[in-house]
Structure 1
Amino acid sequence: MRITRNIAAAGALTALAVGATTALSTTASAAPNVTPRTVCGSAYKTVNSVPVGSLGTVYLTYNSSNGKNCVATIRANPGTVKNMSAYIYVPDTDEWAGDFGNYTSYAGPAYVYGRGYCVSWGGNIDNVYVSVENSNCAARTERRVTEVR
């Protein structure tokens, strides 16, 4: 009885894996190009970016009509699920937002009100982490850090 159950479970897992592989390969090849504007919204313009090694880019965008910043981490080559994040922090107001998880093409959007404030932001793809502190303000010098963990 136990052997039959193990064989049935193995067969079910194989069928699930084949089905998932087929579904993911169809989705990945049919996915449209992802841009910061498609992730954050059409009113958001890219104001800064930082490469995540050769894996992709974290984008900082801004919407001048509502004063909000948005951050998105976008992979250069979408495909299999990878650990990813996008975050943004406004030190003067202690407001932050982030998106952390396992994704096939992008992490985000993460929004904060940033008009008139310096922002710190960043993200990761797999084991490559980037951060930008004191960004987009004239009063302070921007500091960029890339780490491989």
Structure 2
Amino acid sequence: MSSATRLALPTAALTALAFGAAAAAATPVSAAPNTTPQKVCGADYKTVNSAPVGSLGTVYLTYNAANGKNCVATIRNNPGAAVEASSWVFIPDTEEYAEDNGDFTSYAGPVYATGKGHCVDWGGHIQQVHVQVTGSNCGRLQEHRVTYTN
């Protein structure tokens, strides 16, 4: 084998490899979310409520019984280019409030508030679809859900 042939084989292999990688990158990825509320909030947080954000994703309310904290995360159904999204939680009795708002590729949050023994208001948005849940998870009130677009 000549030296020119030995040099041409690795070059051809690298070109084929690069072409294959580019073709693989162009292949659509799974539509499944790449995370869970527990990955965002922490393993000790259990999902206690959720609300769909239209067809774009879901807002999750989670609770950690060990520390009495709620966590809210808004998770997109189809992660990708960054879009405007938010997560928020409010405890009316104590006026504790937390929010995460910005441009995100997969999820907004986590946001935390101490909610043991209190009603919880929470929600979030993805692009123009907003969800808010008030009077949630407190037993004495029936929660109220609103979904709107702007």
Q: Please report the TM-score for the alignment, with normalisation by the length of structure 1.
A: 0.79
Counterpart in the other structure of 1:136: 137
Structure 1 position 35, deviation (Å) = 0.2
- Which residue pairs with 2:44 in the alignment? 43
SS state at 2:43 partner: coil
Query: Within 5 Å, which residues of 2 pair with 1:1-16?
Result: none
Q: Which residue of 1 aligns with 2:102?
A: 101
1: distance between equivalents of 2:86 and 2:148?
14
Matched, 1:66 2:67: yes
**Deviation of the 1:33 alpha carbon:** 2.1
Task: State how many pairs are aligned.
Answer: 125
Structure 1: runs of 5+ lacking an equivalent: 1-21
Q: Distance in 1 between matches of 2:97 and 2:89?
A: 6
Distance, in Å, in 2 between the alignment partners of 1:92 and 1:118 is 8
How many Å separate the matches in 2 of 1:117 and 1:137?
6
Following TM superposition, by how much is the alpha carbon of 1:73 offset from its aligned partner in structure 2, in angstroms?
0.1
Name the SS of the counterpart of 2:40 in structure 1. helix
TM-score, normalised by the number of residues in structure 2: 0.79
Q: CA offsets, 1:65-115, max 9 Å, x none?
A: 000000000000001110000000000000010100000000000000000
- Gaps of at least 5 residues in structure 2 are 1-21
Q: 1:119 and 2:134 equivalent?
A: no
How far residue 141 of structure 1 moved from its aligned partner, in angstroms, is: 1.2
State the Cα deviation string for residues 16-69 of structure 1 (Å, max 9, x = none): xxxxxx9xx79x959x82000000000000000000000000000000000000
| Structure 1 segments (4+ residues) deviating >3 Å | none
